[in-house]
Amino acid sequence: MDVLGPPITLEALVRVRLVGGAEHEVFEKHLRAEPAVVDAWRLAGDCDYEVRLTCRALADLDSAVNELRHAGGHTSTTLVLHRVPLDDR
């Protein structure tokens, strides 16, 4: 075990707007290749995609978000604090 305790898992939702002539097909290929990406949705509205990332540390999250930017997107990132269970509906 690490001196600082067990590794944590961070979850983030990243809204992406493609810029600079980035193409959807190329961006989606990048999403499939990025290990931190666990879900992604192509959207209509203010942004083009919402991407769900899971990472072990803030440095990993920073790296994954930077990869999304380098793939042609302007990003806005929100950290998930708690998932609300909806099983009892």
What 3-state DSSP class applies to 48? coil
Is the predicted pLDDT of residue 18 greater than 90, yes or no?
yes
Structural domains in the chain, CATH included, are: 10-79 (3.30.70.920)
Judge residue 61's burial from the number of C-beta atoms within 10 Å of its C-beta, 0-12 exposed, 13-18 middle, 19 or more buried.
Answer: buried
Is the predicted pLDDT of residue 87 greater than 60, yes or no?
yes
Write out the two tokens for 7.
């590794």
pTM, rounded to two decimals: 0.85
How does pLDDT run across 34-86, given as a tens digit for each residue?
999 999 999 999 999 999 999 999 999 999 999 999 998 899 999 999 989 99
Closest C-alpha to 38, from 18, 70, 61: 61
